Amino acid sequence: MTKIGRRDFVNYLLGFGGISAIAAIFYPIGRYLVPPPIREAEPTTLKVGSIDEFPANSSKIVRFGRKPVILIRDSGENIHALTATCTHLDCIVQFSEDRQQIICACHNGVYDLTGKNVSGPPPKPLTEFAVKVIDKEIVISQMKA
């Protein structure tokens, strides 16, 4: 068995202490840098205004919890509600009146009015929300999976 000398022992002790000290400094810093989750109530339904103030061939973007949602009334009087963030790189999409499509200006992504990705880079469709009109009030809610 090799004997550990006094000097070696002190060196091990110093090394161990040094590593512990570094860990004790960097662990809190690491934890500190990770932001704590901010809890926000996830709404299930949202009133977005009167149908009379929402003419055909128009769109608007509303906040649903923390997510932006695009609300579109097409030429055929149907109302669509879809997540407004492009599935490609997170840009906010817009309604193109003449094409009757949803387009993303960042990289020319194109979706149809049901949210299906039809051309350009988007890999996935936009998520659809359920739309109801109750007493002339438009109400959107998350679709059940």
Instruction: Name the residues that contact other proteins, by CB under 8 A.
Output: 21, 28-29, 31-36
**What's the min distance (Å) between Cβ of 18 and other proteins?**
10
Q: What kind and span of H or E run contains 22?
A: helix 6-33
- Which stretch of DSSP H or E encloses residue 26? helix 6-33
Nearer residue to other proteins within complex by CB, 32 or 66:
32
Report the nearest approach of other proteins to the CB of residue 33 (Å). 7
Q: Which residues contact 58 (CB under 8 A, 6 or more apart)?
A: 72, 73, 95, 97
Name the residue nearer to other proteins (CB basis): 33 or 145.
Answer: 33
- Two structure tokens written together for 86: 């492009």
Nearer to other proteins, 5 or 36 (CB): 36
